[in-house]
Homo-oligomer: A and B are copies of this chain.
Amino acid sequence: MFIELDLQSETPIYTQLVDQIVEGIASGVLQPGDPLPSIRSLAEDLGINLHTVNKAYNLLKQEGLLQVHRKKGVIVQPDGMPGVTEAFEEKLRRQLRSLAAAAAVRGMAEEVFAQESRAVYREMIANRGRG
């Protein structure tokens, strides 16, 4: 698996899991319809609790990024990803505002901040052309 956890981090493990799976989808490592490891096997691989994996999968399911089938197991949403909703935009802006403020206070210029954002995005989708 491509997932790396930092057990000493302040961010909860399930959050890290969610983030990494989302990044996996964004980067194309995980394609629509692709299967994800079963809760049990992923938990075992990562050495964490079943509940933790379950919580992450459930959150992603609620967001519409995953589908959970009784038999097929867990797969990446094949029927089209959720779009950019009003709620999402609002949440995104709120978080960007916090980051922008911290950057501005430390003297990082608007242009640099924007470039940083662009670079991070670009880097993330850089490897999309895989199988």
Given A68-B8, A98-B19, A98-B22, does the pair A107, B81 have CB atoms closer than 8 Å? yes
Q: Are A121 and B114 in contact (CB under 8 A)?
A: yes
With a cutoff of 8 Å between Cβ atoms, the chain B residues found around residue A82 in the complex are 106
Interface residues on A, range: 35 or more
Is chain A's binding surface mostly helix, strand, loop or mixed?
helix
Q: How many copies does the complex hold?
A: 4
Cα A104 to Cα B52 in complex, Å, equals 25
- A106 contacts B83, C-beta separation under 8 Å: yes
Known: A7-B69, A118-B113. A103 touches B97 (CB 8 A): no
Considering the complex, give the chain B residue whose CB is closest to the CB of A96: B120
CB neighbors of B among A35-91 (8 A): 62, 65, 67-70, 81-85, 88
